[in-house]
Structure 1
C-alpha cells in the first residue's frame, strides 16, 4: 500500500499556509534551527579536553561525537515524523524540555560513560531543527521554497559554526563543563522565543504513530529520487564529519600545539558555507538542484586534496574548510529542495528519511575518522574523506533516472 493511500486525510483539502509566510517568521525558524542544532557540534572542539578529564578512557573519546550524531539519527526516525501529525510548535517545546535535562546530565557527567550516554540522549532530542526546516517549506509558496529552506538552513549552519567557535572559546577559559552549562541557558531562551513568536502549524496527517512510521518505508520504496538524495547526502556528511571530528586532534599536535579555542575558530572560517546557503537555494530554484549537487561533490573532493597537502599549514586548512563547507552545505540545501517537492503532505516524513540517512552517515564518518587517525594519521583521514566523497558521487551518478521525479 502506498504512503499516500495509508494517510487517512490524503483527500482532505489542504490549508493555505502562505498567509503566515514572512521574513520575520523565517528568522524565528532559523534561530530555532541554529540554537538547537548547535548542541550536536559543541563537543567537536572538546575532544582534547575530554581526554584530559578522562585519561583512563582516552581510546573512547571519539565515541562522544559519534553517539551524538547516531542519537540525532534515532531522534529523526522516532520524533521528526510527528511534525505531520501534531502541531510542530508543541513538539518543539516538549523537545526543548528534554534537551535541557540532557544538557544538565552532560554538565555534571562524572565519567566518560555518563557523558557518552548524555550525548546520545542529547542527540535524540536535539532534532528540533528538523521540525523548523520542513515548517519553512510548508509556509513558503512553491516558487520561493528553495529560498525559504536556504534561509532557515543559514540559521542552522550559523548555529553549527558558532557552536564550534563558542565551545572552543568557553572551554579554553572556563572548561568543557561550562560549555554545556551555557547551552542550558540558551535552551531556556529559545523556549521563550518559541512561545512568544512561533505560529502554530496544522497537521497534514491523522495516521496513528505506528502507521506514520511504516508509511516512511512506502516513501522510500516509491521514490528513487528520495533514495538517491538520501544516500548522496549521507555520504557527503560522512566526509564532513571525518574532517571536523579530528581537526582538534590535528591542531593539538605538531607543529601547531593549539588548544580547543583555535579549533573552534575554524568554525568562523566555515561561515562561507552559511553565507552561501540562500544563494544555493535560489540557484536550485532557477537551475535545478541536481546540477548544484554535482558541482558540490566536486568541491568536497577538492577540499580533501587540499587537506592532504596541508597537514602542516594553517593557510591550507583554512582554504580547505571554506571549500568543504560550501560544498556540503549547498548540496544539503539542494537535496532538501528536491525532496520537499516530492510529497507535500508528508514533508516531515520525507525529511525524516533523508536526515536519518544523513546523520547515520555523520556517525559513521566520526567513527571512521577516529580509527583512521589512530591507525594512519592525517593522510589516512584525508583518504577516508575522499572515499566518502567518491561514494556520494557514485550514488548521485548511478541513480540518475529518466523519470521526471529524478529531476526534482
Structure 2
C-alpha cells in the first residue's frame, strides 16, 4: 500500500480525527430530539417530522455508497475538504429552511455529505503500525460514537434554549473550524485505485457479492442499528406524553446514558483474549434484544428507559466494532470499499428501523415500537446463529 503505513501516525492526528469524526457525524443526529419542536413550529404531524430522520439516514447511506469509495481513487485530504464545504452549505440550508420539503432536501444532503468519519477509519488503519492499529481505530471510533450520542443531548438542550434552527446554525459554524483543522493537520495519502469511477463502483458490488463474511457482518450491523434507531427516533414522542411530559432537552440527555454503553463497547476488543469474535457478537446481540425488555416492561419509568438505552447502545456498538474487526481481516487493500459495503447496509438498516418505528408509533404507540426494535435484534441473532460458522469456514482472499 504505502510506505507511510510502517512509519506510524502521531497521536495528535489520531485525536484530531476522533474529534472531527464526532463533530461531523453529529450532524446526522441533532434532529432526533428536535423532531417535536420542528413538528410544532411547521405545524406538521409527528410522522411527517420523523421523515427528517429517515431521510438523513438514507442520505448517509447514499454518501457512503457514492463518496466513501472515492477514498481509494482520489487524494483523501482534498476529497474531505471539498466534502466539508458541501456539509456547511447543507447545514445552512437546514438553518434557514421555511417549508417541510426544504427540510427534507437539506436533511438528505446533510446525510449524503457527513460521511467523513468513514474516510478517517481506513486512514487510521493504513497509517498505523501493526502494534497500534487496533488502538488507533478504537480511538477514532470512540470519537465517532460520542459524537452520535452527545449530539442528541446537545441538540435537545440547544433546541429548548434557542430553538431548533440554532442547533443547525451552530453546527455550520463548527464545520468552518473543522475545515481549517483538516487543511492544517491531516496528512495527504496517495490513491490506490487507478480505474474509472464506474470500475470502482463495480468493484464495490463485486465485494458485496463475493465475500460471505462481509455479507453476514453487513446484515447483523443493519439489523442492530435499525433496532437502536427505532428507539431513539420515537423516544421524543413517547416522553412528550404522560407520565413524563418531558421536553427535548430531557430526551436529548438520554444520549448521555447511551454514551456509558458506547464507551464500554469501545473496550470490547479486549474480550478477544478470552472469547472468539462470533461469541462476542452473539452476546452483544443478546444484550440488544434484552434491552427491549426494560424498554417495554418499564417503559413508563425513567429508570427503565435509562437501562434500556445503556444496554441497546452497549449491544449495538459492541457488535458494530466486532463486525468491523471481522471483515477487516479479509486480505485486501480495498479498505474503503469493504467499509462502504458494510456501512451502506448499516444505515439502510437504520433508516428502515426509523421508518418502521414511526409507522408503529402511529398505529400502536410504544408497544408497537418495542415490537419493531426487538424484531430487528432477533433477526440479527437468527442470521448469526445460522450462518456464522459456515461463513467463517469459507473466508477467502480477494
TM range (shorter): over 0.9
Q: For residue 198 of structure 2, what is the aligned residue in structure 1? A: 210
In structure 1, which of residues 327, 347, 353 is the aligned counterpart of residue 335 of structure 2?
347
Structure 1 unaligned blocks of 5 or more: 1-12
Match of 1:7 in 2: none
CA distance in 2, matches of 1:216, 1:174: 43
Instruction: State the Cα distance separating 1:32 from its structure 2 match.
Output: 2.0
Aligned position for 2:107: 119
Residue number among 57, 78, 82 corresponding to 2:66 in the alignment: 78
Task: Give runs of aligned pairs for residues 89-100 of structure 1, distance below 5 A.
Answer: 89-100=77-88
Cα offsets for 1:188-232 (capped at 9, x unmatched):
111111112211122221121110000011112221000000000
1:5 is matched with none
Worse-superposed segment, 398-407 or 340-349: 398-407
Deviation (angstroms), 1:249: 0.7
Alignment check: 8 A CA contact 1:145 1:337 kept:
no
Partner of 2:352: 364
- Please report how far the alpha carbon of residue 59 of structure 1 lies from its aligned counterpart in structure 2 after TM superposition: 3.8
Q: Distance in 2 between matches of 1:204 and 1:338?
A: 22
**Cα offset, 1:170, TM superposition:** 0.4
Q: Confirm whether residue 397 of structure 1 aligns to residue 378 of structure 2.
A: no
The answer on 1:246 being equivalent to 2:246 is no
Matched, 1:106 2:94: yes
* 1:123-167, Cα deviation, whole Å (9 max, x unpaired): 000011110111112122345433322211100011111211110
CA drift of 1:406 comes to: 5.0
Instruction: Decide whether aligned partners of structure 1 residues 144 and 228 sit closer, same or farther in structure 2, where only a CA change above 3 A counts.
Output: farther
Give the counterpart of 2:174 among 186, 189, 195. Answer: 186
Moved over 6 A (4+): none
The aligned residue for residue 384 of structure 1 is 372
Query: Structure 1, residues 41-83: CA drift from partner, whole Å, max 9, x if none?
Result: 0000011101111214544111100000000000111000011
- Per the normalisation by structure 2, the TM-score is 0.95
Q: Secondary structure at the match of 2:193?
A: coil
For 1:367 and 1:386, the matched residues in 2 are separated by 15
Alpha-carbon contact 1:290-1:407 (below 8 Å) kept: no
Q: How well do the aligned residues superpose, as a CA RMSD in angstroms?
A: 1.8
Note the C-alpha offset of 1:286: 6.9
Deviations 1:168-187 (A, max 9, x none): 00000100000100101111
Aligned residue in 1 for 2:136: 148
Task: Report the counterpart of residue 68 of structure 1 in structure 2.
Answer: 56
Aligned residues: 396
CA distance in 2, matches of 1:260, 1:119: 19
Q: 1:195 aligns with which of 179, 183, 188?
A: 183
SS of the residue 2:388 aligns to = coil
Question: Under a length normalisation based on structure 1, what TM-score does the superposition of the two structures give?
Answer: 0.93
Q: Equivalent residue of 1:55, what SS?
A: coil
The CA distance in 2 between the partners of 1:231 and 1:129, in whole Å, is 21
**Which range moves more in the overlay, 339-348 or 237-246?**
339-348
Give the distance between the partners of 1:77 and 1:285, measured in 2 at CA. 34
State the match for 2:118 in structure 1. Answer: 130
Partner of 1:3 in structure 2? none
Match of 1:400, SS state, is helix
Q: Call closer, same or farther: CA 1:205–1:15 in 2, change over 3 Å.
A: farther
Which of 245, 248, 268 is matched with 1:257 structurally?
Answer: 245
Does 2:288 correspond to 1:295? no
SS for the counterpart of 1:61 is helix
